[in-house]
Structure formats: structure tokens, C-alpha cells
Amino acid sequence: MRSRNSLGAILVGIFIVFAGTAPSAFATPSADSCTFLTSAQVSDALGVPMAAGSHITPTSLKTCTWSPSGGGTKEVGAITFTLQTADEYEAGKRTLQQMITLMKAENKEEAPVITPVSGVGDEAFYLDMAKTMSLIVKKGNGAFKIVIYGGMSTPKRQSAEKTLALQVLSKM
């Protein structure tokens, strides 16, 4: 049983690493993730004043992170926006579906849940996984992921992520 838990953790790790390493298909290979959303847009969606976005790694423009300007709150610790390719989206989704199948076969309650989202890009879904919920969107040859970290309620988190996704899509 422990080996199955390890397999699940490994698959999650592979998905996270894979989703954050390949070049983006948006605009140019050097597309800057911090240019897709403003601090004002993020603040409005979350209801918390947010500091300027910054790259996790200065040499990688794929992921931008915003944090509350006054420090983390109970609801919002940070938000990340990560650019992906459509191929990364498809590979990640297949990996998740395989992991879910394995975990359900073992009656694991903590199996990730994929919930399709209509009206956002060509295809989108919420990923509820181990206390973290993401909105992952594909449009054309590109894709992106939005993750809000903190204790925000699921309906509020989903609404904020969808609002931000629609704002990103307006720039694509």
C-alpha cells in the first residue's frame, strides 16, 4: 500500500515538473508570464491587495507569482500563473487521469478530482488535488495554469481563478 502512495506522489511530482519546464507556445519563446495579469486584476479577483508579480526564478519567464502586499492572509498566501504548451496540457491531463484511475482502484479518498469548466478557452478544468486547486486552460497551441494558495473557499477560489483566466485569454 505504501508503494502505491509513493507512486501517486511520484506521478504528481512528474506532472508538476513537466508542466513547468518546457518552452511556452504563447507569442514567442520568451513570453513573460508576468505581462498577462496586472496586480490590480489579481487584487480585484482575490479581494486582497497584491504586490507586483515576480518570477520564481529570474531566468525563467514561464511562471509569475503574486503575494498579498501586506503579507499572506488566511485566505490568500500567494497566486501563481504558469505558461504551458498545449502538448504539456495534454500530457499532464493524461498523467492525471492515469493517476486517478490507479488511486480509485485502491479506494483512495485523496485521489485528485478533475472538473471540466465550460466557456474558458478551448478546454479547461479545475484540478482539486491534496488541498490545492488549480484551473488549467488550453487555447490553441498554448495553455496555462492558475493556482491560488491559501484557505479560500472552493467556490470563491474557482470564481477568482475563472475571472483571471478570462482576463488572460483576452490577451491571447
Q: Domains of the chain: which residue ranges? A: 2-169
Question: CA-to-CA distance for 52 and 102, rounded, in angstroms?
Answer: 40
Write down the pLDDT at residue 141. 92
Write down the pLDDT at residue 10. 40
Alpha-carbon distances, residue 155 vs 111, 146, 158, 162, 164 (angstroms): 20, 15, 5, 11, 14
**Predicted confidence pLDDT, tens digits, the chain (172 residues):** 444 444 344 444 444 444 444 443 444 445 899 999 999 999 999 999 999 999 988 888 999 999 999 887 888 999 999 999 999 999 999 998 888 888 888 877 777 888 999 999 999 999 988 778 899 999 999 999 999 999 899 999 999 999 999 999 998 8
For residue 158, what is the DSSP state?
A: H
Query: Can you name the CATH fold of 2-169?
Result: Protein Transport Mog1p; Chain A (3.40.1000)
Residues whose CB falls within 8 Å of the CB of residue 59, separated by 6 or more in sequence, listed in order: none
Question: CA-to-CA distance for 131 and 102, rounded, in angstroms?
Answer: 19
